[in-house]
Amino acid sequence: MFSYSLEVCSDCIAFTSCPSAVELAINHLDNSTKTKFIESLCGHEYDQIKWMPKICCSDFTLASRTGEVRTDAVTGTADSHPNMRLLPDICGDIEGNRIIGGRVAKIYEFPWMALISYNTREGLQFLCGGSIINSRYILTAGHCVAGSHKIAGVRIGEFDILYKIDCQGEEPNFVCESHLQDIRVENIILHESYTGLPSPSNDIALLRLSKPINFNFKNALPICLPVTEDLQKFELGGRVGTVAGWGLTETEKYSSVLLKVNVSIRTGEECSQYYNRSPGTNEGDRTLNYICAGEHLKDSCNGDSGGPLMLEGEYKGINRNIQYGIVSHGPKKCGSDSPGLYTAVTKYIKWILDNIRE
């Protein structure tokens, strides 16, 4: 059993709440890293399941040592970013003849949906979702990569988890799809200022895949991101967005088939009133980098942790699906009157572009 110093540091926190330490463990776990973890131990805490180590987070990042929390709001600078070329022009296709208000999605309605698989004691399980943003990267929530389960891979093109061949509809509109792509994850990029559950901040991550997604199949296509100045300044409050997913969380049961739900987006002021102790001030404001959306019995319980909140909008002159949010967290009781919180993608466009490569 490892011992730890009785001289406790000022930021002795759970290992899973220190993003730089988690990223180091995921991507660079060698003997020197293990030694550094042992030297940084400062205690343990019980998380209702098991004892978890606590570490001096400042040993791993200057940002934690200074208390700096980065935000990445972009105002019209994305167009000139050198990595804009890595985001495809063809994205967010809107499937024709959409069923408004339907609960079950159509097979090709959301081809950017990704399922993240994990190695668990019960075997391989899908516990989070994400969205395709180009042929090598999946956008997801930070808490989906900072947990205790190791990511096994990503599945592209899924509709009904129970079947290898998905079929839907009646003649003459009967359609079947069998092209699934299971791809290993090459690298995990967690936001360097992520703080852990139950109230995470900077809840965003990228998964780099070990090989490109094949976009020759109709059930695989990237979603558009709000990269232009007009899209970044678009007022979301009062609009209606769409959340799609299998209802995947680490604790709740899920649907085998892809579902969708329309959610009302709240204004920033309404969001603050729900989640902040001091409305009208920025002190302790949990919602600055979030979007609030949902209403009674209609919220992100119907989506996946890490999945997209989408709105239709004009992207390079064409009406497309654009991802404005990432399912993050919300009220403890699913479907309550309190809205769910979604990481605001517009706040992290520069971070996304900074962290993708060829």
Q: What is the pLDDT of residue 70?
A: 41
**How close are the terminal C-alpha atoms of the chain, in Å?**
43
Q: Is 191 a catalytic residue?
A: no
Count of beta carbons in the 10 Å neighbourhood of residue 153? 18
Domain ranges for the chain: 12-66, 78-354
Q: Is 203 a catalytic residue?
A: yes
pTM of the predicted protein model? 0.76
β-strand 175-177 against 166-168: which pairing, if any?
A: antiparallel
Residue 74 scores a pLDDT above 90: no
Range 134-156 average pLDDT: 94
Task: Summarize pLDDT for 345-355 with one digit per residue, the tens.
Answer: 999 999 999 99
Task: Summarize pLDDT for 7-21 with one digit per residue, the tens.
Answer: 446 567 777 777 777
Give me the count of residues in the chain. Answer: 358
Q: What is the pLDDT of residue 124?
A: 92
Contacts 24+ apart (CB under 8 A), 20-25: 20/57, 20/60, 20/61, 20/63, 20/64, 20/192, 21/55, 21/57, 21/60, 21/61, 22/145, 22/146, 22/190, 22/194, 23/188, 23/189, 23/190, 23/192, 24/60
Range 39-54 average pLDDT: 64
Q: What is the pLDDT of residue 279?
A: 47
Q: What is the pLDDT of residue 58?
A: 67
Q: What is the pLDDT of residue 31?
A: 66
Task: Summarize pLDDT for 230-273 with one digit per residue, the tens.
Answer: 999 889 999 999 999 888 654 456 788 998 888 899 888 888 77
Residue 342 vs residues 99, 201, 218, 328, 333: alpha-carbon distances, Å: 25, 11, 28, 5, 16
CATH 3.30.70.100 for domain 78-354: no
Considering 160, 166, 203, 299, which one is annotated as catalytic? 203
Range 145-160 average pLDDT: 93
Considering 40, 305, 328, 329, which one is annotated as catalytic? 305
Q: What is the pLDDT of residue 66?
A: 31
Q: What is the pLDDT of residue 255?
A: 82
Q: Is 20 a catalytic residue?
A: no
